[in-house]
Amino acid sequence: MIKYKLICNDCKLMFDSWFASSHEYEKLKKKNFLNCVNCKSEKVEKTLMTPQLMNNSKKKDIKKKEIKIKDVKRKIKEYQKFIKNNFEYVGKNFAYEARTIHYENKKKDKGIYGTASTDEMKELHDEGINAEIIPWIKDENN
């Protein structure tokens, strides 16, 4: 695929268009299949284009973002390990278990963690039950 900057010789509008190849552009141009997106004129030509080069500062910015993402993932995994070691996993029964602890004063040896829908979390909050959403990264390939 190749992107060309085109200009309409009638209304002077400049616009971008993608083509399968430069040969495809030439074929469409020859058959008068190219037209202006604004005025529908067939007097459309390629203009000079500058290549999109990635300079060193952009590369450094990308590298910094990648490092930051890795650091955040590492920190989340540390939290996950702490939670797994110190809390009881209750799976999809999280909302039920949280209510049981709250309303029946049922004390557990450990806190709980599990999954709950956004609606369930909102309901828990509305009921005055303290529960938090924590980002979770699956163990596989991370």
At 122 the pLDDT is 95
Instruction: State CA 108 to chain mean position distance.
Output: 38
> Where in the chain are the domains?
2-46, 56-126
How far, in Å, CA of 7 to CA of 116, rounded?
Answer: 54
Span 27-86, pLDDT tens digits:
999 998 899 989 989 999 998 776 666 677 778 888 899 999 999 999 999 999 999 999
128 neighbors 103 (Cβ within 8 angstroms): no
At 136 the pLDDT is 87
Span 116-130, pLDDT tens digits:
999 999 999 999 999
